Chain A
Amino acid sequence: MSEKILEVKNLTQQFGSIKAVDGISFDVYKGETLGLVGESGCGKSTTGRSIIRLYDMTDGEIRFKGEDINGKKSKRDLKEFNREMQMIFQDPYASLNPRMTAGEIIEEGFEIHGLYKNRKERKEKIGSLLEVVGLNREHANRYAHEFSGGQRQRIGIARALSLNPSFIIADEPISALDVSIQAQVVNLLKELQRKHGLTYLFIAHDLSMVKYISDRIAVMRRGKILELGTSEEIYQNPIHPYTKSLLSAIPLPDPISESTRVRIPYEHEDTDAEATMHEVFPGHFVYGTDQQIAKWYK
């Protein structure tokens, strides 16, 4: 496999008495898409926000391109980090200033990073970004609050793409979009990745889309990564009971089969022995005690 672009070691993020992220470790390789799925509230957004330095982490270490992201940085390096790593935020309502037009929102980044100084060129770039995400040029003059939920989400995507980043944390980037625009955005992300070698951390709930877009998938629950492997492995050969439960709950566009769907409920079992990550196959990791792994793996 290619080089590691991001290394997360023992990341812990605590809010008051709640351990939102509880000592997780994973690597992301250059040019791949790592899908991050799991229970709502398990710490996916917090993980993304820690990586992009929105939170000071409680414990652990994160390296981007070999450098500690919290190490001392010159102003210039920090600015470059802020350009290279972008996040598409989960909540399109909270993350866009409603009093700004779509054009102004995108332009802000150009301003900060001194890109496309020529007015005409800048306007052209904004228009083409809006088109790339399935909006039209005229939308540049509309205020954020005048857009629907899915339209706002696309402004956020356009903003993230505008600075030619190399690493994008996409936090539920498509769930607010209709399936045809989802397909459009996912195709776009794939194409950008093929052409420019972009790397994605893709957080989502739609497991069929996650499978389609991700090379590898990490499954989280209550602040921990429970299973990590290639998409193929996770879907064909899930080992952790929580992963199995998730897979059994994916609804299909087939009313007859939905009317008889049987979910596998997940029952968490508390254990005395210490749980650790086990590599059950090369590249396929499962979190549990030795005993649990032996039992699940049968």
Chain B
Amino acid sequence: MSETLLEVKDLKINFKTYAGIVQAVRGVNFDLKQGETLAIVGESGSGKSVTSNALMKLIPQPPGIYDQGQILFEGRDLIPLTEKEMTKIRGNEIAMIFQDPMTALNPTMKVGKQIMEVILKHNKKATRDSAKKRAIELLDEVGIPFPEKRFKQYPHEFSGGMRQRVVIAIALAAEPKLLIADEPTTALDVTIQAQIIELMKKIQKNSNTSIIFITHDLGVVANIADRVAVMYAGQIVEYGSVNEIFYNPRHPYTWGLLGSMPDLENSEDELLRTIPGSPPDLTNPPKGDAFAPRNEFAMQIDYEEEPPMFQVSETHFAKTWLLHPDAPQVPIPEAVQKRIDGYLAKDGVKHV
């Protein structure tokens, strides 16, 4: 069994805004082993980016507040660390690929130089020549054509997806222990996406890097993740191995997500399935289960008391009262089950 690299315990993060206090992250718990990939999926605005920025201690204060909890990286809590101590960890032991590539790039510095700087900073033995060579190699590895020419250009001369690949090259240049990737491939076409994922897997295998991968693309999750956390309204509502989440989802929000995807067989005339209603206002989170108003299976208790994490298997947990022994048995909705059965039949598998 490999060692635990990261443990997040009861993390709560608020933002003070004009409209009130936004409770962006409301008690998040998870851990990550060395060499493991955790995918975080979930509603837009549910706190995925805030959670991952917090791991780098990049929440601006104010307006942000680390209200509660611990972030144990190799057993050491990052929350009380000073900015100076964090600078040593950032980019070095923990590297991040941001959702917005422009925040990570210096618009006035040539792309190649930005990559070289990271290499020189993290590898004391590197010379300017070897760093340049490695930077061009990295640009090539992330699929940028004519890397020598591109090396000398500024970020604004790159397309959206190419900028993102530069950010990926910079993060990989540091060979971190933990790589946090916030929607790294969202802006990329599927072939380059596949190429980048293969590259990340290769680097992970070579240096036993742990990866936190945030994405909306459930196909990518199925491809890259060992484990999956599903977030809703500032909390993790379901947590399990990739097979458990895709073939035996237990939380009604996860059902909603899996049901909303078009598959390639979808007919164009039918509308896609959606989750009715809208997410709660996090300045004033509802009592009970935050998902209740959108859950067609909600019970009285959902409006009164927040559900605990119920255990489904040794590795699989879901935060819904539907798993309480006294709750009525609610099967996975037919449309979702049909799709799962379809995949399993194609894979030649009976039960998972």
Binding site for B on A (CB under 8 A): 15-16, 18, 37-41, 45, 90-91, 93-94, 131, 134-136, 138, 141-143, 146-151, 154, 172, 175-184, 186-187, 190-191, 205-209, 211-213, 222, 231, 235, 245-246, 249-258, 261, 263, 266
* CB proximity to A under 8 Å, residues B228-281: 242-243, 246-247, 256-258, 260-264, 266, 268, 271-275, 278, 281
Q: State the CA gap A252–B281 with chains docked (Å).
A: 32
A/B interface sample: 17 pairs, CB < 8 A: A38-B189, A40-B162, A149-B100, A177-B44, A178-B44, A178-B46, A179-B257, A179-B260, A181-B44, A182-B260, A183-B262, A183-B272, A190-B271, A191-B271, A208-B261, A252-B343, A255-B247
B258 touches A212 (CB 8 A): no
Interface residues of B toward A: which range?
A: 35 or more
User: Which of B194, B222, B271, B278 interacts with A136 by CB under 8 Å?
Assistant: B278
Given contacts A141-B18, A209-B262, A252-B343, contact A176 B44 (CB under 8 A): yes
Report chain B residues within 8 Å CB of A180: 43, 256-257, 260, 274-275
Binding site for A on B (CB under 8 A): 15, 17-19, 22, 41-46, 49, 99-100, 102-103, 145, 157-162, 165, 183, 186-194, 216-223, 225, 242-243, 246-247, 256-258, 260-264, 266, 268, 271-275, 278, 281, 343-344, 346-347, 349
Report chain B residues within 8 Å CB of A245: 191
A266 touches B191 (CB 8 A): yes
A41 touches B162 (CB 8 A): yes
A263 touches B191 (CB 8 A): yes
Q: What distance in Å separates the Cβ of B181 from its nearest Cβ neighbour in chain A? A: 14
B260 touches A40 (CB 8 A): no
A251 touches B222 (CB 8 A): yes
Q: State the CA gap A41–B221 with chains docked (Å).
A: 24
A178 touches B343 (CB 8 A): no
Q: What distance in Å separates the Cβ of B221 from its nearest Cβ neighbour in chain A? A: 7
Given contacts A179-B257, A212-B262, A252-B219, contact A90 B187 (CB under 8 A): yes
Given contacts A15-B157, A208-B262, A212-B262, contact A178 B193 (CB under 8 A): no
* Closest 10 pairs between A and B when the two form their complex, measured CB to CB: A40-B161, A150-B44, A251-B219, A183-B272, A254-B343, A249-B190, A253-B218, A41-B159, A212-B262, A183-B260
Known: A178-B43, A180-B257. 16 other contacts (CB 8 A): A40-B187, A136-B278, A146-B22, A148-B44, A176-B216, A178-B257, A182-B260, A183-B272, A190-B271, A205-B186, A205-B188, A212-B262, A222-B145, A253-B218, A255-B246, A258-B222
Q: What distance in Å separates the Cβ of B3 from its nearest Cβ neighbour in chain A? A: 25
